[in-house]
Chains A and B, each alone.
Chain A
Amino acid sequence: MILTLKIWRQNNSTAKGAFATYKLDDVSPEMSFLEMLDSLNKRLVEEGKDPVAFDHDCREGICGSCGMYINGHPHGPVPAITTCHLSMRYFRDGETIWVEPWRAKPFPVVKDLIVDRSAFDKIQIAGGFISVNTGSAPEANSIPVNKKNSDAAFDSSICIGCGACVAACKNASAILFVSAKISQFALLPQGRIEAKERVRAMVEKMDELGFGNCSNTGACEAECPKQIKLTNIARLNREYYKAY
């Protein structure tokens, strides 16, 4: 495949960025999107030029490191997968592909396609935990959990913290991310004990960090690589009203 890449290059958070154009003429449809970028970087390094910086690690869709805007979609045009799982067979020979970092005020650009997502950690630090010290847990089966609730908690818990929901949202809202953790614990008896404090702390932190409000457009759900559902947001709202 022959491809033209328009990639956002930006040296640091304060520098002015711009699209740079690269031509690749030996892309295999069997490559993943990141392997295609690897091949570009290999060429750049061999020419002594600065390679395109992007975050990546597990390359199997679970660590949440990778993420970039590809042709106007977080993680590219194929639903329910991360960038590392995006195969080049989904692109056409001769196509021009636009690649950008997440764009959201709380996620400043670090370099090129790398953004600073530490705001997500800060929200989890505010309350995304159950306060139990090592050694003080009861016997596991002494806390029975209805299978339906347990399965639903699992469905909420599989968020990988990649930030696609924020990037997709016109308001840069983090509500889907926050609601996934709130939901997981709201559905489990272990999590009920601190439910009020948790939802207050996490929502307050989310607002403080500059994430926008939710206006129910649902772009987050549509673009989430793990298909986290909007029902989580409804549950967060319920939990939030109950907390005051």
Chain B
Amino acid sequence: MEKLISKIPEGPLSQKWTRYKASVKLVNPANRKKLEIIVVGTGLSGASAASSLGELGYQVKVFCYQDSPRRAHSVAAQGGINAAKNYQNDGDSVYRLFYDMIKGGDYRAREANVYRAAEVSNEVIDHFTALGVPFARDYGGTLDTRSFGGVQVSRTFYAKGQTGQQCLLGCYSSLNRQVKKGSVKMFPRREMLDLVLIDGRARGIITRNLITGEIERHGAHAVVLATGGYGTIYYLSTLAVNSNASAAWKAYRKGAFFANPSFVQIHPTCVPQLNEFQSKLTLMSESLRNDGRMWVPKNKGDKRPANDIPEEQRDYFLERRYPAFGNLVPRDVGSRAIKERCDAGFGVGKTGLAVNLDFRDAINKQGKKAIEDKYGNLFEMYKTITGSDPYNEPMLIYPAGHYTMGGLWVDYELMTTIPGLYAIGESNFSDHGANRLGASSLMQAAGDGYFILPNTISNYLADQIRIPSISTDKAEFEETEKEAIGRLDKLVSIKGKQTAGSFHKRLGKIMWDLVGMSRNEAGLNKALKMIHDLQDEFWRDLSIPGGWKELNMELEKAGRVADFFELAQLIITDALNRKESCGAHFREEYQTPDGEAMRNDEDFAYVAAWEYTGEGSQPVLHKEALKFEEVEMKVRSYK
């Protein structure tokens, strides 16, 4: 307990951020240029943080594994970005956005952080608009919005189905402006191998140049991780195939606590797996549920084409089960409802692991053109992948691993338990509790990077102005680099027979089957054992041609999979510990008679933050009690 100081400012919720900003320590402009900051990752949070810090005059170094910062996986977010603008006059406010997120997260998020995320959401929209992000507009020239799951207002700003791309390119442009000015230095095609601590503080990173294989040392006064989530632990997920947890995992092994690792969002609407070679699952935006209706046949095993099944033989199961929210229930609720129908034998498609998402009624009512305007690119993408045309027949969809609410534990200032190490965007745990609402990831990532971190990091850096530029000749850099190289040597010298990808696939299958949408104690224990055995096999029989002093994509994959094995065990430990169902974490032992999640506030209203205690040794649990001063904890109902 004593190690988790969340630094939540005093005062009423709506005043906390204002008061914090008024009293936080500042660094004067002359001193800022002497201070160096490393940012790892160039998605929405990393690129926005780096550009804002550059604008303030800090010396910023940014790293990404892709060939260009524009390719970070925020680019793939589709549906939209939330803000409490209340442009629709439908009763929205900062408070309501905050409330929806707290409720959507099933009362497992920290009130003060969530309120602040809602508070800065409007500034995020202003800033993106000023940067030239072409959000959808109405005929009068004002910004348009749409609805998303789990809420009853229309607060989601969007750019067709490419909102993430447009927001990321906005961040990329502000990053480029700072690169031109010289305040930000960009290092693409670099992978962070480890974090360097000096006297317990984050002072740099070790990277590998992915083209030359060269190992590099980079020093700084503070390090910011903006490295995204770990959804690729399921192998098949909606994430980019190279997305990984390694930077966050290295930080965990160096002492940063990892919070709520078992909170993983399974997104309800994805293109189902078509074959065994498949390398990823493609998301179909939640926005589709504004107009698409989910259904399965009422008769078990009805194999007729969807259009041949008459209306009275269709079961619109979300509308039936959740009349108040219908097709717009939150993601966790939607995913479980789909799984329930498919497990009961009502699924459709070749495998029976799919349900219909039907636009027939919307097209009849609004016309094909209106639907095309809203979802044109998504419909095309679906057709490209499956060969079937959603204008004429329902989409087939099934849930897939998507977003990780868990991540590095951070305090109100977004600092981890390692002084000088920050985590922003999806890589931290703080804003989404046990389930994230749609269109709030872009909101949080950009809010963290543009408006929150630049304000909070000065509180730390103000005390660092007397520390000269960090020399990378120090023993700590030497030592950490040696460890990193040792690990690379170990991987390339196994000389076994199996590829990193094949291990990843097997790990993903265990995780999906036993640690996915629903979990139970026996299954979790079984998964733990299976993963342990698979991990042993990995270290015995991995094949990596070539060495580490060259471009070697098999080595990159292997390093990530090696970390996934360790993270998987922490996820399971956390899932076993949390003997309740909340949000996306569904323990079969804890459910109501009609199959809804049963929370246990008495025993589990806390953030589970895990401390690394060494190889093969059990991590230690620290609890941050969640106090709800503003909202009352209720049973979450969307009925």
Residue numbers of A with Cβ under 8 A of B are 28, 30-32, 34-35, 38-39, 41-42, 44-46, 48-51, 53, 55-65, 81, 85, 87, 89, 110-111, 114, 116-118, 120-121, 124-126, 128-141, 143-147, 150-151, 153-154, 157-158, 160-161, 184-185, 188, 190-191
In Å, the complex CA distance between A160 and B70 comes to: 8
Q: Would you call A132 and B131 a contact (CB within 8 A)?
A: yes
B residues 195-249 in Cβ contact with A at 8 Å = 211, 240-242
In Å, the complex CA distance between A53 and B551 comes to: 9
In Å, the complex CA distance between A160 and B165 comes to: 9
Residue numbers of B with Cβ under 8 A of A are 48, 51-52, 55, 66-71, 73, 75-76, 85, 87, 123, 125-127, 129-132, 134-143, 159-160, 162, 164-166, 169, 172-174, 176-177, 179-180, 186, 188, 211, 240-242, 274-275, 277-280, 282-283, 381, 384-385, 387, 450-451, 454, 495, 497-499, 501-502, 543-546, 551, 553-554
A-B pairs with the 6 shortest C-beta distances? A144-B141, A137-B130, A129-B173, A154-B134, A140-B129, A137-B126
In Å, the complex CA distance between A139 and B240 comes to: 34
CB contacts (< 8 Å) of B280 on chain A: these are: 59-60
In Å, the complex CA distance between A41 and B556 comes to: 14
Q: Would you call A138 and B277 a contact (CB within 8 A)?
A: no
Q: Which residue of B lies closest to A123 (CB)?
A: B176
**Taking the nearest CB of chain B, how far is it from the CB of A117, in angstroms?**
6
In Å, the complex CA distance between A79 and B68 comes to: 25
**Taking the nearest CB of chain A, how far is it from the CB of B67, in angstroms?**
6
In Å, the complex CA distance between A143 and B48 comes to: 22
* A49 and B545 contact, Cβ closer than 8 Å, known pairs A64-B70, A130-B131: yes
Q: Would you call B131 and A158 a contact (CB within 8 A)?
A: no
* A63 and B134 contact, Cβ closer than 8 Å, known pairs A137-B127, A161-B70: no
CB contacts (< 8 Å) of B134 on chain A: these are: 150-151, 153-154, 157, 184, 188
Q: Would you call B67 and A65 a contact (CB within 8 A)?
A: yes
Q: Would you call A65 and B545 a contact (CB within 8 A)?
A: no
In Å, the complex CA distance between A135 and B48 comes to: 12
**Taking the nearest CB of chain A, how far is it from the CB of B78, in angstroms?**
9
In Å, the complex CA distance between A89 and B387 comes to: 10
* A143 and B130 contact, Cβ closer than 8 Å, known pairs A46-B499, A58-B75: yes
**Taking the nearest CB of chain A, how far is it from the CB of B199, in angstroms?**
32
In Å, the complex CA distance between A121 and B189 comes to: 13
Given contacts A62-B164, A134-B55, A136-B130, 11 further A-B contacts (CB under 8 A): A32-B279, A57-B241, A58-B71, A59-B282, A63-B76, A125-B179, A134-B127, A135-B123, A154-B136, A154-B159, A161-B71
Q: Would you call B85 and A65 a contact (CB within 8 A)?
A: no
CB contacts (< 8 Å) of B140 on chain A: these are: 144
In Å, the complex CA distance between A126 and B180 comes to: 7
CB contacts (< 8 Å) of B545 on chain A: these are: 44-45, 48-51
Q: Would you call B275 and A58 a contact (CB within 8 A)?
A: no
In Å, the complex CA distance between A55 and B495 comes to: 25
In Å, the complex CA distance between A129 and B451 comes to: 19
Q: Would you call B55 and A53 a contact (CB within 8 A)?
A: no
CB contacts (< 8 Å) of A31 on chain B: these are: 275, 277
Q: Would you call B129 and A134 a contact (CB within 8 A)?
A: no
**Taking the nearest CB of chain A, how far is it from the CB of B272, in angstroms?**
12
Q: Which residue of A lies closest to B177 (CB)?
A: A129
Q: Which residue of B lies closest to A78 (CB)?
A: B384
CB contacts (< 8 Å) of B162 on chain A: these are: 62, 158
In Å, the complex CA distance between A36 and B384 comes to: 17
CB contacts (< 8 Å) of A129 on chain B: these are: 131, 173-174, 176-177
Partner of B279, one of A35, A44, A53: A35
In Å, the complex CA distance between A13 and B524 comes to: 49
In Å, the complex CA distance between A62 and B169 comes to: 12
* A138 and B130 contact, Cβ closer than 8 Å, known pairs A31-B275, A58-B240, A154-B160: yes
In Å, the complex CA distance between A145 and B66 comes to: 34
Q: Would you call A63 and B75 a contact (CB within 8 A)?
A: yes
Q: Would you call B211 and A110 a contact (CB within 8 A)?
A: yes
Can you sample 6 A-B contacts with CB below 8 Å? A57-B240, A63-B71, A121-B176, A124-B172, A147-B138, A150-B141
In Å, the complex CA distance between A130 and B129 comes to: 10
* A140 and B126 contact, Cβ closer than 8 Å, known pairs A46-B498, A125-B176, A150-B134: yes
Q: Which residue of A lies closest to B164 (CB)?
A: A62
CB contacts (< 8 Å) of A44 on chain B: these are: 545
CB contacts (< 8 Å) of B279 on chain A: these are: 32, 34-35, 38, 59
In Å, the complex CA distance between A190 and B160 comes to: 20
Q: Would you call B282 and A121 a contact (CB within 8 A)?
A: no
